[in-house]
Structures are given as C-alpha cells and as structure tokens.
Structure 1
Amino acid sequence: MVHKAAMAEVFITDAHRLGDHRFTVAAQWPRAHVFYRPGADGKCDPVLWLETIRQAGVYVAHRFYDVPISHQFVLAGAEFTIEDPQAPQYGSTPHTVSLDITFEPPAQDKRHLVIELAAVVRIDGRRCGRVTMRGQAIDARRYAVLRRRNAPSRESLTPFEQPSPVPLPPAAVGRQHEWDVVLAAWPDRAESWQLSLDPYHPVFFDHATDHLPGMALVEAFRQAVSLSGCRRSAPDCAPRVWALTSGAVTFDAFGELDAPVLVESRPVAERTLGDHHFSVQADATQGDRLLASATLTGRPLLVAGGRALGNAA
C-alpha cells in the first residue's frame, strides 16, 4: 500500500525539463503554516527549504526518470546555504518559489535510482540560496534488505537511566506548541537530550512510516543547537536566539520508532567564522548506531523585549 502525504504538506506545483538532467520546479509556500513558521529574525524557516527540495527530488524522479510510485526514497544527506533570507509573505498571495535543479547523471536500473541534485532557490524571483541533496529510490525488496542491515542491534536498545527526561517548554526551543517540541531534557545533563516525538504530529507523520522521519531528526538538531551551551542546572539559562545560515546533515542508519534516541551537541570553531557566526555539531544515536549527524551554522541575534533585532554586535 502506498501512503501519500496530506495535500496541505505538499509544496510542489509543477516542473519542466530544461535539459538532459536540468529542471525547473515550481513550489508555493503557505502564508502561514502549522509547523514551518518564521524564525527569531522573522525570516522563512530554513528547514522548509530542505523539505521543499526533498519533495522536488521525489517528484522529478517519478515524473522524468520513471521511478515507480511504489519505490521507497531513502535520504542520505543534504547541505544548504542561505544567501538572502526572506520574510514570510502575509499579503493576499503566498510566496512563489522556483528551484533550478541539476541532477547528476543517475545510476539507474529498474530497482534502483541514485539521486544527487543541486538546486538554486529563488523566492519571488530573487536568488536566495542553494541546496544539495543525496539519496536513492529503491524497490520494496532492496528496501527491506537495507532496512535490516542498518537497524541497531536489539541488545543495545536499552532504556536510558532514571530519572526520565522531561519535555522542554515550547519557548525554550523557539516553538509555539507543545507537539512541536521534539526534545526532552535530564535535569543534571548538559548538551544531551532524548528525542521526544508526538506519533500523531501532522507534519512528521503525515503518512505511514516504519522508521523515524529524517526531517524530525533535522528539527531535533535545530532545537539542540538553540540550547547549546545552556546547562540544565542553571534555571536562568536562556536558549540561544539565532538565525540559521547554513548546514550539512548526513543520515547513516534508520531509527526505530519504539526505542530511545540520544541527541547531543557541541560547539565547533566558535568565534572563528567571522561576522559573529557560530557552528555546532549535533549527533543522534540509538543503541549502538549513529542515526544522523549535522553541522549547523548561524548568527546570534540581539533581543529586546522578547523580539529579535538583528545581528549581535
């Protein structure tokens, strides 16, 4: 059975072939979205960029490379750079997004398509950044083999020690709703959290899946970075108010839905990136397997009265 995403979560509207492996893909971002909301700087959510490119890759593979609708898409990694962040469009029309996409000539047979693409993102006609993405589309048999091979050993899937972690309040990770918080914290541990996903989340679980959604891990990394350097033992420690400017994410193994996941972060090369940017490494592990890792770079924002004002001095 093939499960399709809810129409409210589909952002791709059309695509045209420009050359052998070049395409232009049209997308539309909603004026307001239940999950992909503006960041502290009032700009479009960078994770929305990744989700839009992911959908574009799937759509182009089906339409132009004859990938059967029954194939599974497995994401391996993505990198992005935001050159010109845009604010959400709250007028009478939503943002119009166009993607100039180039596929690497794919390695393909009837059961398998390797996908490597690079996309230039234009918002309302302005070039705003670029994204690269890697993955593969595989048939059910090959997916089953890959799924078993990449699963953590059951012996390693033991519960974390007591006390149990406590879900964070939405404001602590820049969210408005409790169901959008994907981390829970231990009172005496810094830079580590347990993944805490609502199995009925309308975005992460908009279709049936037998493993942890990759975009949920990306969101966990973003929330972990916002808390980087904040120790649980300090009640007055405020989360970092920041604007994401670039990042790289690698997916190494499938995550099981019924076992705990540890999310950890650590600063990387802070104060060396210029213009007060900082970079944080984050990892997600389950049992004896590294599920995914990311390096995210951003710029801190000055805050007054709860509102972000701009670059930190």
Structure 2
Amino acid sequence: MPISFALYSDFNLLPGAPVRGLCDKQACRYVDPGMTHSGSSLKWGKVKTAHTLGMSSTIAPALVHQTDGGDVIPTGWSRAGEHGYRVKGNWNSRHAFFSPLQNRYSPVTIFETFRQSIILLAHEAYSVPMEHHFVMWDVYYTAVPQELAVREEAARIDVEVEFSDILQRGTRPAGMHCHIVISRGGRQLAAGGGRLSITSPAAYRRLRGEALHSHAATADLRPAIAPALVGRSDESYVVLGAADTPDSWGLRIDPLHPLNVNRKRDHHPGILLMEAVQQVAHLVPRQPFYPETLRIQFQRYAELGVPCVIEARTCVQLGTGTELLTVRGTQDGQLVFTADLHNAAALVPADAP
C-alpha cells in the first residue's frame, strides 16, 4: 500500500508540544444545547454555558490543528447518529488564504472544511489523543458551483459527517471512511469524502524515520508566477514558480506564506499541494475554470528540501465542451500526487456580493 499523505493535520502538534485552550473545557467543548461532552463521554442534559452554535467559534484552534482562531472554520458540533455528526461553521470570504475563486468559495476552502471537521470529531467524539497524526488520501468532492457564490462576508454552513468502515486498534479508531456534505440554508454546496488513517506517535516515528527530523528551512523562492494569473494578490501566497518546460512549474515555498509561518513539520502539507492545484486551475485553462468535481490522490509524503515539479494537462470533452484538467506533482521522478478536475459546464458568472 502506498504511503499516504498527511493533509497538514499534524503540523505544530509534535509529541510533547503544549496544546493551548484544552484545559478550559467550558471554553471549547460545550457546543450544542442539551448535549454535554466531557472527555471521551457524551451525555444528554442541561448545559450551563453561554457557548452555543453561532458566528463566534467556541472551538479551540488546537482541536482542528490550527494556531490562529481566525483560521478555525467549525463553531460547534453535535451527534446525529451512531457515527453521524453535524458540524456548524463559518466561511469568511475575506480570509486572506481561504479567499474566493471566481467569486465562489474555493476548492481549498471546501477541502479545509473537510479536514477541520474530521479532525475535530476524531478528537472530540472518538477521543483520539492530540499527539496522534492524521493521514488522508483519495480526497474528492462534487460541488454545486452556482450555490457556492459568495453572497455575504461570512456564511453560516452546515456540515454533515458520516464515518463508516471504522478500523479499531484497541479502544480507538485507526482508520475510517468519511462522507461529508456541506450546505448553506438547506441547499447543498458540495459533497465528498475520503479515507482517513490515524497513526500513533510511535508508529509515525517508524514510518517517517530520519525524515521526521527534517525541520530545516523549506524556502524555495524561485521567481513567482504573477499573482493575478493564479488568483492571488500577494506574491507570498503564490506557490507556483518558474520551471524549464511548458505546462510545468516548481512548487514555490515562501516562508511568509500562512501555511509556513511559525510551523514545524517534516514534510510539505497536503493543503499546500491542494493550493498548487487550485492555482494551476486558475492559470492553465482557456476558459474560466471552476472545478465542479475534484479528486486528489496522494501517493507519498512531499519531502522537504527536494524540488517538487507540478505538471498539468488539459483536454476538452467532445459534445459538451467542458474541460478536464489533470495536475500531478513529482519529486526526483517519483509521483507525489495526482489531481483530476472537471470544469463546470456553461458556468454563469457569480455576481459580487
């Protein structure tokens, strides 16, 4: 089985690292009227707390493996079945990184919502320890582009999560399949999922070996593509750099990028590669391209200090005129990931809010 790629779920949470915000359970755990959650147990009852599902998140950043509360999407969660859950959240259209694409909430925003919802529930509903590592692969979605139009600065979203095919190791899950539906005001925005595996610190050390200690500087400041060409306004957010062949780029690593500031990790995060895919989708196609479907499969870790080449290929479906885009990343000739994107047909421009 190929090595899976961590969807930046383990950064800044190395074994033994302090986790802020977890000591005050009232500040981050009581999230749904009528339900209390203390440690690994759930019980129904009256909740004596002012923290309910609203626009201000009561979720500690550490619970979604973030360091800044402004990057937290979930605002609360509740149980909806044996392995079914509802997560409330907010999408901020003015967020510097999770910014819109063609005035629609972006694929990166969709995937980050998947990631944070899954990790939150793993820790809170399944009592997975904070120092464990999360690995996802074959992550996919199908979107409703017209419903993803940005209509307000902050959108309230509902996320339905269903876990299945749960693999137990001892008393805790070691792997599961995740099915996720995101909606706003009762209208579906996107649906998808992926396979999650959960690795203990000891197993992760065996898996990564010497690479676990590769916390060297990851800067690769090759000349950047013009920000406007990839849907960005700040060069530090551009992750595509010049390469030697057409339709290929080098993964550009800027220490000022929000995924790199004050982060310690032993590999490049999957969301950084997802951002590269999104920037290719903005740059390459001959017509406005919003991915109606997207599937990204990770084959191995993207190692630090090794150039990563991003390549793209497009084709047009006969009869429909819709465009298909395939993006892949390689290091030293070895495949790191592939992504297949399908453009929304006859896409009507989304009006600005």
Shared fold per TM-score greater than 0.5: yes
Q: Is the 8 A contact 1:204 1:215 kept in 2?
A: no
2:288 is equivalent to residue 250 of structure 1: no
Q: Could you say if the C-alpha distance between residues 244 and 205 of structure 1 is closer, same or farther in structure 2, counting changes exceeding 3 Å?
A: farther
Q: Which of the numbers 272, 279, 282 marks the counterpart of 2:327?
A: 282
Distance in 2 (alpha carbons) for counterparts of 1:115 and 1:204: 29
Distance in 2 (alpha carbons) for counterparts of 1:130 and 1:14: 20
Residue of structure 2 in register with 1:104 after alignment: 164
Distance in 1 (alpha carbons) for counterparts of 2:241 and 2:195: 30
2:188 is equivalent to residue 127 of structure 1: yes
Residue of structure 2 in register with 1:221 after alignment: 277
3-state SS in 2 of match to 1:106: strand
Q: Could you say if the C-alpha distance between residues 207 and 16 of structure 1 is closer, same or farther in structure 2, counting changes exceeding 3 Å?
A: farther
Residue of structure 1 in register with 2:311 after alignment: 264
Compute the displacement of 1:228 (Å): 2.8
Compute the displacement of 1:53 (Å): 0.8
Distance in 2 (alpha carbons) for counterparts of 1:174 and 1:120: 26
Q: Is the 8 A contact 1:170 1:176 kept in 2?
A: yes
Residue of structure 2 in register with 1:49 after alignment: 110
3-state SS in 2 of match to 1:20: coil
Distance in 1 (alpha carbons) for counterparts of 2:199 and 2:303: 20
Compute the displacement of 1:71 (Å): 0.4
Compute the displacement of 1:57 (Å): 0.5
3-state SS in 2 of match to 1:36: coil
Compute the displacement of 1:146 (Å): 2.1
Q: Which runs of 4+ in 1 moved over 6 A?
A: none
Residue of structure 1 in register with 2:99 after alignment: 37
Residue of structure 2 in register with 1:90 after alignment: 152
Distance in 2 (alpha carbons) for counterparts of 1:293 and 1:104: 25
Q: Given residue 161 of structure 2, which amino acid in structure 1 is its aligned partner?
A: I
Distance in 2 (alpha carbons) for counterparts of 1:19 and 1:68: 22
Normalised to the residue count of structure 2, the TM-score between the two structures is 0.72
Compute the displacement of 1:60 (Å): 0.7
Q: Given residue 115 of structure 2, which amino acid in structure 1 is its aligned partner?
A: R
Q: Which of the numbers 241, 247, 255 marks the counterpart of 1:184?
A: 241
Residue of structure 1 in register with 2:69 after alignment: 7
Specify every segment of 5 or more residues in structure 2 that has no aligned partner in the other structure, as ranges. 1-16, 20-61, 212-220
Distance in 2 (alpha carbons) for counterparts of 1:245 and 1:95: 20
Q: Could you say if the C-alpha distance between residues 251 and 148 of structure 1 is closer, same or farther in structure 2, counting changes exceeding 3 Å?
A: farther
Alignment of 1:196-215 (within 5 A): 196-203=252-259, 207-215=263-271
RMSD: 2.7
Distance in 1 (alpha carbons) for counterparts of 2:255 and 2:174: 30
Q: Is the 8 A contact 1:35 1:203 kept in 2?
A: no
2:167 is equivalent to residue 167 of structure 1: no
Q: Given residue 190 of structure 1, which amino acid in structure 2 is its aligned partner?
A: P
Residue of structure 1 in register with 2:51 after alignment: none
Q: Is the 8 A contact 2:178 2:196 kept in 1?
A: no
Provide Cα deviations, 1:155-208, integer angstroms capped at 9, x if missing partner.
Answer: xxxxxxxxx95311101112111111101123x521111000212322455743
Distance in 1 (alpha carbons) for counterparts of 2:202 and 2:162: 29
Residue of structure 1 in register with 2:90 after alignment: 28
Normalised to the residue count of structure 1, the TM-score between the two structures is 0.81
Q: Which of the numbers 141, 149, 155 marks the counterpart of 2:202?
A: 141
Q: Is the 8 A contact 1:101 1:117 kept in 2?
A: yes
Q: Given residue 334 of structure 2, which amino acid in structure 1 is its aligned partner?
A: R
Distance in 1 (alpha carbons) for counterparts of 2:207 and 2:193: 23
Q: Given residue 211 of structure 1, which amino acid in structure 2 is its aligned partner?
A: H
Compute the displacement of 1:87 (Å): 2.3
3-state SS in 1 of match to 2:147: coil
Distance in 1 (alpha carbons) for counterparts of 2:269 and 2:163: 24
Q: Is the 8 A contact 2:126 2:173 kept in 1?
A: no
Q: Given residue 55 of structure 1, which amino acid in structure 2 is its aligned partner?
A: Q
Residue of structure 1 in register with 2:42 after alignment: none
3-state SS in 1 of match to 2:142: strand
- Number of matched pairs: 279
2:160 is equivalent to residue 115 of structure 1: no
Compute the displacement of 1:280 (Å): 1.0
Provide Cα deviations, 1:269-306, integer angstroms capped at 9, x if missing partner.
Answer: x22372x321111111111421111001114889xxxx
Q: Given residue 26 of structure 1, which amino acid in structure 2 is its aligned partner?
A: K
Specify every segment of 5 or more residues in structure 1 that has no aligned partner in the other structure, as ranges. 152-163, 230-238, 303-307
3-state SS in 1 of match to 2:89: strand
